[in-house]
Chain A
Amino acid sequence: MRYQATLTVNGIPYPVEVEATASLLRVVRDVIGLTGSKEGCDDSECGACMMLLDGRPVNSCSYLALQADGREITTVEGLAPGDGLAPLQQALLEAGGVQCGYCTPGMLISATALLSSNPRPSEDEVRVALAGNLCRCTGYTNIVSAVLRASEGHPAGTPG
């Protein structure tokens, strides 16, 4: 059965009509048309679909869209101010933390959630925070170093 809901994505409310079993990822990608969030495993192993729900990371492939009705959703498209890049995105480019790019949206969401609750993480804290996001190309080192660069107080970083 289809139900009406309002999904607020990156500050914009989208009235949608969705099946009871539709995932948040499906609706954001196929109905709303924001395709930055990726489907990797589709069962919560890889983190490529990660979004923020009321500021907290969620594997959107495994979250019912209807449960997000009325809540604030942030996708990778919502991280950058205007046409620029968020400090984390800039750091990821500079550190060479992007290869095929498929895991990048989820990595950025995880790292954003980490830095908002812990602006000065240790390397180990970064690794734990990103451990739910699989990358099959870079070997993680450059991604971890990018998050450290973007963290508060880092010599090469910009306050995030």
Chain B
Amino acid sequence: MSTFVQATTVAEAVGAMSGGARPVAGGTDLVVGARQGKAPLPESIVAIDRLDPLRGIELSGGRLRLGALVTHAEIVAHPGVLEGFTALADASAIVGSHATRVHGTIGGNVMNASPAMETGGPLLCFDASATLESVAGSRQLAVAELLAGPGETTARADELLTAIEVPALPGAGSCYARLEYRRQMEIAVVGATAVIVLDGGLVTDARIAITALAPTIRRVAEAEEALRGTDGGRAAAEAAAEAAAAASAPISDVRASADYRRAMAAVIARRAIEAAVARARGENVPVPASPALHGAV
């Protein structure tokens, strides 16, 4: 017999969580997962969707702060995100359908910890950190340390994600691209994120992450190394994309075989890198990059 409480303050929410309650915001993972039979709904539910302190996008002092309740639709509509964190906008723009994007939150996306989730790659590449609160207090840790495995985080069950902070990377061009079978209500078959900084036509900073290719979304140092100091052109992008594919450890499931995922990893990574380089050069690549990049060779 499940219980339900609508939290009106963060203190009330973390209090309920210390007693074993699980939080629900837009319900687009927790409730959908229950309907799909992945896991039954929790015995004790605390709704956090009306907690105003968890709302809002702030961009100041070189940092982007996303309240945990910020929706994907809000991320895509934010000029500062589109400009400085374009890969994140690419990702949020293709989460679920329009109904998912107006209710689904960045906090839920991160804490659901799917290795195929769209926003994870951009958050890792931009070195995002998460703020977790509990009755014991608050702590901050890198999103890279938060994601522990498929559906698993290093957060304790009584900790509520309240915000994601993302440091700006001035001048960066970035892109998230995925292989998909359907334009909406889809999750990456294979995904890749590239964040590129150019100086004098040469790559001075490169960050590459792969999605749906390992138990967690992960950065690939070899791919980043392959790009640094190059002109970011086709040959460099191909070499880096091969390195990204080589670092993958995909599974076979209902959506794709491991072999197909590995083969597509290099293609999708190259598309993400080339689009990020183009954006770093000031060229226009529409958001979302997927499916605009489909048909690219």
| B and A form one assembly | yes
Which A positions have Cβ atoms within 8 angstroms of B?
A: 1, 3, 19-21, 23, 42-45, 47, 50, 53, 56-59, 61-64, 66-67, 69, 110, 113-114, 127-129, 131-133
- The prevalent SS among residues of A at the interface is mixed
One of A19, A57, A127, A131 near B185 (C-beta < 8 A): A131
In the bound complex, residues from chain B placing their C-beta under 8 Å from that of A50 are 99
Query: Does B100 contact A67, Cβ atoms closer than 8 Å?
Result: no
Task: Produce 1/0 per residue, B181-205, CB < 8 A to A.
Answer: 0111100000000000000000000
The answer to whether A64 and B47 touch (CB under 8 A), given A69-B6, A132-B184, is yes
B230 at the interface (CB under 8 A from A): no
B20 at the interface (CB under 8 A from A): no
Query: Does A23 contact B45, Cβ atoms closer than 8 Å?
Result: no
B32 at the interface (CB under 8 A from A): yes
Query: Does A128 contact B183, Cβ atoms closer than 8 Å?
Result: yes
Q: 3 closest A-B pairs (Cβ-Cβ)?
A: A132-B97, A131-B184, A20-B4
Which B positions have Cβ atoms within 8 angstroms of A?
A: 1-4, 6, 24, 26-28, 31-32, 34-36, 41, 45, 47, 49, 96-100, 102-103, 182-185
In the bound complex, residues from chain B placing their C-beta under 8 Å from that of A62 are 27-28, 31-32, 35
One of A59, A69, A128 near B99 (C-beta < 8 A): A59
The answer to whether A63 and B4 touch (CB under 8 A), given A44-B35, A110-B98, is no
Distance in angstroms from A67 CB to nearest chain B CB is: 5
Query: Does A20 contact B97, Cβ atoms closer than 8 Å?
Result: no
A/B interface sample: 6 pairs, CB < 8 A: A1-B3, A21-B2, A62-B28, A62-B31, A62-B32, A64-B31
One of A1, A23, A131 near B1 (C-beta < 8 A): A1
| Distance in angstroms between the alpha carbons of A64 and B34 in the assembled complex | 12
